[in-house]
Structure 1
């Protein structure tokens, strides 16, 4: 997570966010350092970012501005939007009132922990077959 000032474009921090990702679990002894692909909406569309992602061997799956969306990308992006919706259930996070960055980040971490705890406590849902 990167916290910015209000109204900062997503495209300006895309590479910083990717660089901040910890090693991804992989084969024993050889953890992957980077994800295989970056899924993004049109807010992340930038040719310099695409080039930098390719240099890092990350496939950019980003819709281009002025063109139709990539088919199926909305289903994958839905996970991100659901996460934001869950975080915004905590009213203090929906509108940022905290001036201090450390307090805001602590509240976000606490909210994430509560969301995970609630998810773990919920009994498993039976899968439906059509």
Structure 2
């Protein structure tokens, strides 16, 4: 199970899920492309809204990855190495973090993410 919450004021995203849901997403990101549905949260406080889908694809002409919100969809596009690094971060968090932990995936701290990307926080579903 996964959900993505979005704040229009800060453009920040929170990707949260169960350990297994996050591990599964990491594995999906290692493919050429695809999508997955999300659990919608009717009360996304302190965020403004809940997204309905993640869509992702590999772009062999890129070295980096972009993470952007378009309507109800979180779109992730990037070169293979960048998508693998994102998958590694998600899987490592899901495997090793405590239930109360969170992880930031954003530029410039993650040099494989383009600066124009929406800031992403990974957390466990509460």
Fold conserved between structures, TM > 0.5: no
Determine which structure has more spread, i.e. the larger CA radius of gyration. Answer: 1
Q: TM-score, normalised by structure 1?
A: 0.30
- RCO comparison, higher one (Cα < 8 Å, 6+): 2
**Quick check: which one's strand share is greater?**
2
**Quick check: which one's helix share is greater?**
1
